[in-house]
Structure 1
Amino acid sequence: MHRGRGDRPRAVECYRNALTLYRRLSDRFFEADTLAHLADAYADLDHVGAARASLRQALTVLGELHHPDAGRVAARLRQIEGQGVAG
């Protein structure tokens, strides 16, 4: 919601709060889903390193779950890594 309104810092904060909750609940799928959304919010802020780290974590979780969304997340990670931007 905040990301769609352009309030990217608030979006990051909300995704991080959601991530904490999903981890406490041991909800691995929503942990991965939130990490992927968090990565997009970081990318919007040009925090490419944080975006990559979040996508790598999401990909790890989805791989452990053998979830088909792993392919989508892997493609997004390749896209961000292809930007060649440090950060």
Structure 2
Amino acid sequence: MDAVSSATGTSKASAGETIDAFIAAVTKAVANGDAVQLVGFGSFSQGARAARTGRNPATGEEIRISAAKTVKFTAGKAFKDAVNV
């Protein structure tokens, strides 16, 4: 929050509230099955992981792992380019 606060010239409290509101909006949208795309940064979307059989590493016993929803993030081109400079 310090970086956002200094970059925008706002207080840390204001920057924190803005970041928290953004995270809440993205979380709500993805939880509802919508994709959120931030041009140049990336996109967040919902994925699915199928049920499967796993093993307890301590006992070797087979266990059932239930299906779950996942969150996927795909980095945008500008973000990838900035990282790979």
* Higher normalized helix content (fraction of residues): 1
Q: Which structure: larger Rg?
A: 2
Q: What is the TM-score with the length of structure 1 in the denominator? A: 0.35
Relative to its length, the structure with more strand (as a share) is: 2
